[in-house]
Amino acid sequence: MNSALQMNIQLSTLDLDTLQVMYARKEQELSQLLISGALWKETEGHRNLLTGIAQAMHWKVHGLAGSHPAEYGTRAATGPGTDGSQGF
C-alpha cells in the first residue's frame, strides 16, 4: 500500500474537530517554512499532508467518503442529447 493511501486511511479515522486543528497547525508550519525561505520543492510533504487533511475534512462534512460526483445517484443528466436535443 502506498504512503498516500495509508495517510488518507489514517486521516479518515479522525473526527472533524481534530482534522480542523491539525490543518490549522500544519498550515501555519507550511507558512513559516515558506516565509523563512524554504524552496517550494522542499515543502512537498507538507503540502501533500495539507491536501490530504483538506480532503478528509471535505469527506467528513459532505459524507462522501471519497465518492466521485459522477457516481451520485441523484446527479442530473445534463449536456448535449440529454433532453433530446443535439446540443446545437
Three cell numbers at 22? 491539525
DSSP 41: G
Long-range contacts of 64-70 (CB under 8 A, 24+ apart): 65/12, 66/8, 66/12
First vs last Cα of the chain: how many Å apart? 47
pLDDT along the chain (88 residues), means of 10: 78 92 96 96 95 92 64 59 55
* Cα–Cα dist 67/71, whole Å: 7
Name the pTM for this structure. 0.67
Considering only CA atoms, give the Rg of the chain: 19
